[in-house]
A and B are shown apart, each in its own frame.
Chain A
Amino acid sequence: MHAIVCIKQVPDTTEVKIDPQRGTLIREGVPSILNPFDTYAIEEGLLLRERFGGQVTAISMGPPQAEEVLKEAIAMGCDEGVLLSDPAFSGADTWATAYTLAWAIRRIGTFDLILCGRQAIDGDTGQVGPGIARQLGITQLTYVFKIREIDFQRRRVCVERLLEEGREIVEAPLPALLTVLKDINQPRVPTFMGMRRARRAQIPVWSASDLAKEGADGRFFGLEGSPTRVVRIFNPAQREGRAEIIEAEDIGQAANVLAERLLAEKVV
């Protein structure tokens, strides 16, 4: 079994604080972390390796320091990590990112599964997973919260997907790309041995020319290869002031006042 896990280094939004005076966000010195959703993808790969043997490879596209998240993946138990880093990759939107990752996956070679987190917490798009699947022409199974069964003889995988109305049980051929939800497992913490292995691990860095040798078209990398352009970034409108606290003689009366207010607002 060979699982490839796509991971991303993101700013830790839990470290973002609100400046109480100005009501603006304090983002200074926000640390970079492994995208939380990706830890579930890594764990799922490791669980499959425990059951079926084989290998789990983590890949990431990002600046040189994104090596840290690949080391974290190795500390958790991944066998190898590959970093895609090149100035030519910067400014990529989801199309260009999926294109680049797909070429790296082709370079890695054969695989049974590609695992991705549901989305990254900085971009929140969830588009790169489906993008990679279409670039590679393999089945995509998104919003997976349980792998029910994998049959390597019949080359089939059966999963549960969480949709708005309930759970869908789907069977698809391997290789397949899965994007996984938070509830799928409990990601392990790196062991001491794992961390030691990660410290020693050499993470190969693949550049645009490495992928071009495989057949990738350099015009489709990074900002230049991105169909979309960000034209403006701004802060969302903040509401002025705090909540109006409803006070009354007792809770029953307060509830009554609140119910009347909400009826007047026409929200119920």
Chain B
Amino acid sequence: MPLLEINREDCIGCEACIEVCPFGALRLDEEGKAVVNELCTACRACLDACPVDVLSLPEVEWVRRPEQDVYQGVWVWIEQFQGQACPISWEMLGKGRELADARSTSLTACVLGDGVESVAKETVAYGADRVFLVDDPSLSVGRTQPYARCLVYLAEMYKPEIFLLGASSRGRDLAGAVATELHTGLTADCTGLGIDAETGLLRQTRPAFGGNIMATIICPEHRPQMATVRHRVFEMPQPDPTRQGQIIRQEPLLSEDEIASKVLDFIPQEGEVNLAEARVIVAGGAGVGGPEGFEPLRKLAEVLGGAVGASRAVVDAGWIAYAHQVGQTGRTVRPDLYIACGISGAIQHLAGMRTSRIIVAINKDPQAPIFEVAHYGIVGDFFQVVSALAEAFREHLSVKDC
């Protein structure tokens, strides 16, 4: 039984709700009134669309419980890889600082790893008032069990109101475990965070349905309010090395033989493919013609200091590894510059890159849908255009360097 209720009497049969329903759960019946079926997930997309307010969902009452006030402060998990903090951590500290100031509270960072004291110090420079530092060989690589155990322990002990993690592979893995253990809500892949002026709750906005709709989500009764945050959405703050903060050392909670999993090896990705953090991405699609078509793209990426991306079609064809795939079944990216070469622009690809700051499309077909989302385009043979572009940038950038 769907949760959506429709006041049939006042329904004018305008179909506005049918148009916006992501799940195809609404239709008009013989009398021209909207009816809903079991596909409805109570997502609320139709509520705002209805011009005559005949749609409603049961309001689940939430009450502000006195124990909630015990939870204070904004926390950020600092992701590090081999002792280097990932940029997403600083982006979250920037946003975290803003949220903490809006709630008139403090900003705390959790640094877990092995030999990461310097990261803890950097964290203060980037805005943390307090740092929990758990520095132990058992934490040298990010494993869910010992990491989650530390974060759950700290959160239960010190009760933060808000807890942010990066929406990286590790962050999403860890956040899912921590939120489950803390029995609290978790909003994945947020691209917007703000404090509701009236309730003081964290408003978490995220894309869903392949980026086709946006949802704002709250976590009214459970604490902490947890979210993972997409890369490159929030501005990178300027570090201030003179800032002072408190670093509190904590012992790890599990010894190595209590940890179930062992990391046996790590094989670094060849070449520059950390798409999530790349400022520039040069991506190729079926139009590049074959595996060798990626060569000029690599050269252009090299000139621009960027990474190489790819559409699903070429990954499926085996022209390039899956790690390069951008789109709904690959990675979601948000570089400053995305150059799409020979990519027609299927909706699943667009879902993974449409929020890039500047999109350039290079395609032989002037009708290709990629031109609908691109800011600039060149119609022509990708090989010639990419080579000319690499040449042009090489000249311009070397002049700039002088």
Contact = CB atoms under 8 A, between A and B. Distances in A.
Interface of A: 11, 13-14, 16-18, 24-32, 36-37, 63-65, 87, 90-91, 93-95, 98, 121-131, 133-135, 139-143, 145, 158, 161-173, 181-183, 223-224, 226-236, 239, 242-246, 251-252, 254-256, 258-263, 265, 267-268
Nearest to B81: A165
A176 to B, nearest CB: 9
Contact of A126 (B44, B188, B323, B378): B188
Max count, chain A CB within 10 A of own CB: residue among B329, B348, B393: B329
Given A228-B217, A254-B388, A168 B177 contact: no
Contacts of B268: 165-166
A183 B322 contact: yes
Q: B279, B346, B372: which has the most chain A beta carbons within 10 Å?
A: B372
Contact of A29 (B24, B43, B57, B141): B24
A255 B215 CA distance: 39
Contacts of A14: 346-348
28 contacts: A11-B39, A14-B348, A27-B20, A32-B23, A32-B39, A90-B2, A91-B41, A121-B210, A121-B329, A123-B209, A126-B176, A131-B179, A135-B180, A165-B266, A167-B269, A168-B141, A227-B185, A229-B218, A232-B44, A233-B48, A234-B213, A242-B372, A243-B372, A245-B379, A246-B377, A251-B384, A262-B376, A265-B358
Given A11-B209, A164-B168, A267-B357, 14 more contacts: A13-B212, A90-B42, A91-B3, A95-B183, A95-B186, A129-B176, A142-B172, A164-B81, A171-B261, A233-B45, A233-B215, A243-B376, A258-B392, A267-B337
A263 B37 CA distance: 52
A227 B337 contact: no
B217 to A, nearest CB: 5
Nearest to B187: A228
Contacts of B23: 11, 30, 32, 122
B216 interface: yes
Nearest to A145: B322
Interface of B: 1-3, 18-24, 37-45, 47-48, 57-58, 60, 62, 81, 141, 143-145, 148, 168-170, 172-173, 175-177, 179-181, 183-189, 203, 207-222, 260-269, 274-277, 279-280, 304, 315, 322-323, 325, 328-330, 336-337, 346-348, 351, 357-361, 366, 369, 371-381, 384-385, 388-389, 391-393, 396-397, 400
Contact of A233 (B170, B177, B213, B304): B213
Contacts of B58: 223
B23 to A, nearest CB: 5
A260 B328 CA distance: 32
B214 A233 contact: yes
A158 B44 CA distance: 42
Contacts of B376: 243-246, 258, 261-262
Contacts of B189: 124-125
Contact of B336 (A27, A170, A224, A267): A267
B51 to A, nearest CB: 15
A52 to B, nearest CB: 21
Given A28-B18, A161-B169, A251-B388, A13 B177 contact: no
Nearest to B270: A166
Nearest to B170: A163
A223 B3 contact: yes
Nearest to B372: A242
Contacts of A131: 176, 179-180
A170 B261 contact: yes
Contacts of B381: 251
A64 B38 contact: yes
Nearest to A226: B185
B378 to A, nearest CB: 5
